[in-house]
Amino acid sequence: MASLLWFAHFLSFLLFHLHFQAGSSLPFSFNSSSAPMPCQHDQSLALLQFMKTFSIRSNASSWDFLYPKPYPKTESWKEGTDCCLWDGVTCEIETGNVIGLDLSSSLLYGTIHSNNSLFLLHHLQKLDLSNNDFNQSQIVPQFGQFLNLTYLNLNHSVFEGQIPLEISYLPALVSLDLSRNYDLILETSIFNELVQNLTQLQQLDLSEINMSLVGPSSLMNLSSSLTSLKLSECQLQGKFPDISHLSKLVLLDLSYNNFSGEIPSSFENLKQLYTLYLYNNNLNGQIPSSLGSLKELSSLVLFDNDLNGEIPSSFGNLKQLHTLYLSNNNLSGQIPSSLGSLKELSLLILFGNKFNGEIPSSFGNLKQLDILDLHSNSLSGQIPSSLGSLKELSLMDLCSNNFNGEIPSSFGNLKQLGMLYLHNNNLSGQIPSSLGSLKELSSLILLDNNFNGEIPSSFGNLKQLHILDLHNNSLNGQIPSSLGSLKELSSLLSSLVYLDLSNNLLHGRIPSSIFKLANLSVLILSSNKLIGEVSSAVCELNSLEILDLSNNSLNGFIPQCLGNFSDNLSVLHLGMNKFHGTILETFSIGSNLRYLNFNGNQLQGRIPPSISNCINLEILDLGNNNIDDTFPYFLETLSKLQILILKSNKFHGLVKGTFANYSFSKLRIFDLSNNLFSGPLPAKYFNDFKAMMIFDLNMKYMGAPNYSSYDYSVSLTLKGLEIELVKIQTLLTSIDLSGNKFTGEIPQSIGKLESLKLLNLSHNQLTGNIQPSLGNLSNLESLDLSSNLLVGRIPMQLTYLTFLEVFRVSHNQLEGPIPEGKQFNTFDNTSYEGNLGLCGFPLEKCDNGERQQPTSSKEIDSKSKIGFGWKAISAGYGCGVIFGIAMGYVVFKTRKPTWFVRMVEGEGHRKLKRFSN
Ligand SMILES: *[C@@H]1O[C@H](CO)[C@@H](O)[C@H](O)[C@H]1NC(C)=O
Ligand SMILES: *[C@@H]1O[C@H](CO)[C@@H](O)[C@H](O)[C@H]1NC(C)=O
Ligand SMILES: *[C@@H]1O[C@H](CO)[C@@H](O)[C@H](O)[C@H]1NC(C)=O
Ligand SMILES: *[C@@H]1O[C@H](CO)[C@@H](O)[C@H](O)[C@H]1NC(C)=O
Ligand SMILES: *[C@@H]1O[C@H](CO)[C@@H](O)[C@H](O)[C@H]1NC(C)=O
Ligand SMILES: *[C@@H]1O[C@H](CO)[C@@H](O)[C@H](O)[C@H]1NC(C)=O
Ligand SMILES: *[C@@H]1O[C@H](CO)[C@@H](O)[C@H](O)[C@H]1NC(C)=O
């Protein structure tokens, strides 16, 4: 969310500077008709001495959008010259007294002590030391000695400690800015003194200093002369005070505090108000309709509060309104159509509320509208075609609503549109080919709708397009080869960096023109009906980070060059196709590959040792092929490997585990099922799987590094269900060795894997007893030992497994009473069938009345460490569960200075498949 905050700051900055001429310029006029007096000697000395207190440090002043480019103003100060001509120094013409000192953004670094010669400049009227680094200086009491000071600005210059009472002794002060000194503290008594004493004050900015001790009622004492009051991020809290006496206020910024209660309707007395920022507080109740009488209001920014009710229709009277920013509240009802009469409106941002009904068609009158963001509401109906007349619009975000119908073809008139986000609605029909005339369009996201028909070939004209995401629709036809011509006219370079057409009905071959998009970073064409071979021309895409062609009907050989064509490649997913031949042998040193998935093809031969060059590999899934090989010990060198899936191939031979320590220490999922492995279970590895021994409470999902919307997926058998895990929780741990020819006993070392959730050893030839140390696996949710040759009793210790939901020991040679209590009361006959000697619930009572009960329930509870449970799993990667709020921001440069492209929060992104076992 940090980027969002940044965006908010950026906006407020923009608005403030574009539309609020601070009115602060103080009168320092020169009288050109009389000869100015030169600088007074003592003051010249004081300045030179002051200068010597500091060093120039290149990082002492920030240079961002809030500040001009810093430079060392004091470097022009030379002894023996008239100080009135020095950079940053202003003198009174008649007397030559230094009355102004502006050393803002001057790269000064050093400490200001109370003996500093600065305090000898008694005549100062204006002092600006903002944006330097005063090395955690205190604001010393001597700052209170400038009797004629009207302007004091120490913002963002690394002062800390208490603000001294003496600041309130500056009787002439008109403007005071101490903001952005993050470790400054302002106490209640001093604040009260300040507000009572400084009766001339017009501008007060104490943003981002610690005022947590100041009660909101103190604000009621502020001088009614104030025109600008900024107390953003001051840790203020409590009920909103009545400040209706501040009737001259033009700007009021109380954002990022903890104010609660309602917005007082007495705000209507602030008739001059031009900017009102109350965002990011805990304000609740309705927005007072009286705000609609603030005729001068230009910016109303109330996002991130708890406001409810409707937008007052009186807002239609705010004829000067430029920005209406109400996102992330609980507002509801229809959006009043009166807003359509706000001719000056440029930003209308209402996302994250509960608005319903349709978009008023009157919005077509908002000729100045630049940003229309209504995403994540409950709006419905058709998108009014009148929106096509918003000639200034650069961003339209209507995603995550219930809109239906088609995209109005009038959208082809939105000549300034840079971003069009309509994903996650019920839109249908064909995508209008008129969109192809949006010359400024840089990102087009239509995923999760019901669009059908073909992808318009006119999209080849979108020369600025960076992101095209059409996945999860019903688009058919072929991928238009014109997409390959998406090149910026200026550079002849491809502009497209992100292309996702997955989960549609696209057929035919992948047009080779796509492989000419040299800047493409993400190419996702998975889950379509694409056919044919993938030509080695794909390797011309040497900026690719993600290549996902999975779940199509592609065939032929996998181009050898894919092993080393792009230094950036982190995801290579070709699973569920019809590729044959051998696995690439060309993985090169320095590979960035993190995810490699060839599951579900017809690959043969061996695993090439060059895979061990992919030292960043986290996931390797080669399951469901025809690989005929012994266990690939060389993978042990992949120290980041978390998931290894080799299931359903023709692997054979022993799995011994090597003598190296800590091999596979990050491994969490180890699936060798349905192969021909033989010999004893890999007891050595059970000692090495450190990641299955510790509890990582930090639940995350595994995904591609730069694209938060791309989640790694693998398919696994979980608790008897074959599931494509569309998101992989880092908490999931599993060992599946079922369906092999393992022999011998279950080793005791398996009991060390305390965070293991799923263990399947079924369909082998295991002998001996069920290892009682399995009772240590206190997080186990599924234990399948069925179809082996196990003998003896079911150990009573298994009752410690309080999360166990699936338990299978059927088809062994077990005997004796089944343990009772806890989870064992929930398993039915099928768990036990095919064992001649078992008895007790749910089977028949034991002949001799023998029972196995746990010793004490306390012991059991102390064993269970962290719950996970089926529900948690399905919520994590469940069908249709929204994929979380994590939004990646990608920055692109386009027409506007900098754009923040919100990447998608896709839903049902990559589907969940379930087959009954
Ligand atoms: C500027 O100087 C002229 C002539 O000396 C004088 O008449 C005028 O009042 C001065 N103006 C100010 C603002 O001091
Ligand atoms: C600024 O530069 C100095 C040395 O030139 C360095 O010690 C200091 O850490 C830097 N400060 C920041 C915030 O980068
Ligand atoms: C910065 O502050 C530290 C700690 O107070 C002090 O040791 C150091 O001398 C100061 N540096 C300058 C240049 O004032
Ligand atoms: C000013 O005060 C500081 C801290 O008390 C001291 O280190 C410094 O020497 C003094 N400077 C002068 C010029 O007296
Ligand atoms: C402060 O301003 C008054 C009135 O303009 C003036 O008489 C006085 O000399 C000034 N004091 C200083 C220290 O400049
Ligand atoms: C800090 O002061 C400068 C004037 O030197 C002003 O331009 C800037 O907007 C102020 N910054 C903040 C964050 O208040
Ligand atoms: C400002 O406060 C100081 C200290 O409380 C007091 O001595 C002084 O008289 C006050 N000045 C004004 C103008 O109220």
pLDDT digits (tens, 9 = 90+) for 764-785: 999 999 999 999 998 898 899 9
CA of 136 to the centre of ligand 6 (A): 19
- Ligand 2 pocket test: pick from 54, 57, 59, 134 the residue with the most ligand atoms within 8 Å of its Cβ: 59
Mean per-residue pLDDT, 695-712: 70
- Ligand with an atom nearest the CA of residue 28: 1
Mean per-residue pLDDT, 460-475: 92
Tell me the CATH number of domain 41-163, given options 2.60.40.740, 3.40.50.1970, 3.40.47.10, 3.80.10.10. Answer: 3.80.10.10
pLDDT beyond 90 at 495 = no
More confident residue, 730 or 889: 730
Report the Cα–Cα distance between both ends of the chain, in Å, rounded. Answer: 42
Mean per-residue pLDDT, 105-112: 97
Q: Check pocket membership of 848 for ligand 1, CB cut-off 6 A.
A: no
Mean per-residue pLDDT, 487-509: 81
Please list every protein residue whose CB sits less than 6 Å from any atom of ligand 4: 113, 115
pLDDT (0 to 100) of residue 241: 87
CA of 23 to the centre of ligand 1 (A): 24
Percent of the chain with pLDDT over 90: 68
Q: Check pocket membership of 110 for ligand 3, CB cut-off 6 A.
A: yes
**Which of 546, 468, 553 has its CA nearest to residue 507?**
553
- Ligand 7 pocket test: pick from 145, 147, 197, 221 the residue with the most ligand atoms within 8 Å of its Cβ: 197
In the numeric block, which tokens belong to residue 686?
Answer: 């059970």
* 379-399 per-position pLDDT tens digit: 999 999 999 999 999 999 999
pLDDT beyond 70 at 193 = yes
CA of 164 to the centre of ligand 7 (A): 13
CB count, 10 Å around CB of 848?
A: 8
| Index of the ligand 7 atom closest to the CA of residue 165 | 4
Mean per-residue pLDDT, 487-502: 74
Q: 488 falls in which pLDDT band (50, 70, 90)?
A: low
Ligand 4 atom 9, closest CA:
115
* Arithmetic mean of pLDDT over the chain: 85
* 591-628 per-position pLDDT tens digit: 899 999 999 999 999 999 999 999 999 999 999 999 99
pLDDT (0 to 100) of residue 850: 74
Ligand 5 atom 13, closest CA:
123
pLDDT (0 to 100) of residue 584: 85
What is the DSSP secondary-structure string of 855-903? S-HHHHHHH-----HHHHHHHHH-TT-B--S---EEEE-SSSS-EEEEP
More confident residue, 442 or 6: 442
CA of 177 to the centre of ligand 7 (A): 20
Mean per-residue pLDDT, 421-437: 96
pLDDT beyond 80 at 721 = no
Q: 544 falls in which pLDDT band (50, 70, 90)?
A: very high
pLDDT (0 to 100) of residue 799: 87
Ligand 6 atom 7, closest CA:
67
Q: Beta strands 251-253 and 275-277: pairing type?
A: parallel
CA of 244 to the centre of ligand 6 (A): 27
In the numeric block, which tokens belong to residue 43?
Answer: 């003051």
Q: Check pocket membership of 111 for ligand 3, CB cut-off 6 A.
A: yes
What is the DSSP secondary-structure string of 53-64? T-EE-TTSS--S
- How far is the C-alpha of 737 from the C-alpha of 674, rounded, in Å? 8
Q: 67 falls in which pLDDT band (50, 70, 90)?
A: confident
pLDDT beyond 90 at 708 = no
The DSSP symbol for 177 reads: E
| Index of the ligand 3 atom closest to the CA of residue 136 | 2
- Ligand 3 pocket test: pick from 111, 132, 138 the residue with the most ligand atoms within 8 Å of its Cβ: 111
CA of 793 to the centre of ligand 6 (A): 77
Mind spelling out the 3-state secondary structure of 546-578?
A: EEECCCCEEEEECCHHHHCCCCCCCEEECCCCE
Percent of the chain with pLDDT over 70: 85
CB count, 10 Å around CB of 857?
A: 12
pTM for this model (two decimals)? 0.80
Ligand 1 atom 7, closest CA:
33
pLDDT beyond 90 at 83 = yes
Mind spelling out the 3-state secondary structure of 754-812?
A: CCCCEEECCCCEECCECCHHHHHCCCCCEEECCCCCCEECCCHHHHHCCCCCEEECCCC
- Ligand 1 pocket test: pick from 31, 93, 95 the residue with the most ligand atoms within 8 Å of its Cβ: 31
Mean per-residue pLDDT, 207-220: 93
pLDDT (0 to 100) of residue 905: 23
- How far is the C-alpha of 813 from the C-alpha of 5, rounded, in Å? 64
More confident residue, 861 or 715: 715
- How far is the C-alpha of 156 from the C-alpha of 181, rounded, in Å? 5
Q: 81 falls in which pLDDT band (50, 70, 90)?
A: very high
Q: Check pocket membership of 59 for ligand 2, CB cut-off 6 A.
A: yes
- How far is the C-alpha of 663 from the C-alpha of 689, rounded, in Å? 8
Mean per-residue pLDDT, 707-721: 70
- CATH-assigned architecture of domain 630-885+888-892: Alpha-Beta Horseshoe (3.80)
Please name the residue that has the structure tokens 């949710």: 781
CA of 59 to the centre of ligand 2 (A): 6
Least confident among 84-98, 321-335, 696-710: 696-710
Non-local (6+) Cβ contacts of 719 within 8 A are 758, 781, 782, 805, 806, 870
Ligand 2 atom 1, closest CA:
59
In the numeric block, which tokens belong to residue 60?
Answer: 């002492």
Q: Check pocket membership of 123 for ligand 5, CB cut-off 6 A.
A: yes
pLDDT (0 to 100) of residue 849: 73
Tell me whether domains 41-163 and 630-885+888-892 share a fold: yes
- Ligand 2 pocket test: pick from 54, 57, 134, 157 the residue with the most ligand atoms within 8 Å of its Cβ: 57
Alpha helices in 580-681 (DSSP H): none
Cα–Cα distances (Å) from 643 to 328, 532, 692, in that order, read: 38, 30, 12
Q: 494 falls in which pLDDT band (50, 70, 90)?
A: low
pLDDT beyond 60 at 299 = yes
CA of 117 to the centre of ligand 4 (A): 11
Alpha helices in 126-263 (DSSP H): 188-197
pLDDT beyond 60 at 420 = yes
Ligand 1 atom 10, closest CA:
31
pLDDT (0 to 100) of residue 824: 87
- How far is the C-alpha of 70 from the C-alpha of 59, rounded, in Å? 10
Ligand 7 atom 4, closest CA:
169
pLDDT (0 to 100) of residue 845: 83
- How far is the C-alpha of 436 from the C-alpha of 454, rounded, in Å? 13
CB count, 10 Å around CB of 49?
A: 13
pLDDT beyond 90 at 51 = yes
Mean per-residue pLDDT, 135-161: 96
CA of 34 to the centre of ligand 1 (A): 7
Ligand 5 atom 14, closest CA:
123
pLDDT (0 to 100) of residue 858: 39
pLDDT (0 to 100) of residue 274: 97
Q: Check pocket membership of 32 for ligand 1, CB cut-off 6 A.
A: no
For the chain, the structural domain boundaries read 41-163, 630-885+888-892
3-state secondary structure of 405: strand
Cα–Cα distances (Å) from 660 to 62, 637, 639, 663, 680, in that order, read: 51, 9, 12, 6, 19
- How far is the C-alpha of 161 from the C-alpha of 183, rounded, in Å? 6
| Index of the ligand 3 atom closest to the CA of residue 111 | 14
Non-local (6+) Cβ contacts of 256 within 8 A are 232, 233, 279, 280, 281
CA of 158 to the centre of ligand 6 (A): 14
* 650-703 per-position pLDDT tens digit: 999 999 876 566 689 899 999 999 999 999 999 888 988 988 998 766 666 677
More confident residue, 890 or 79: 79
Q: Check pocket membership of 473 for ligand 7, CB cut-off 6 A.
A: no
Ligand 4 atom 10, closest CA:
115
pLDDT (0 to 100) of residue 885: 19
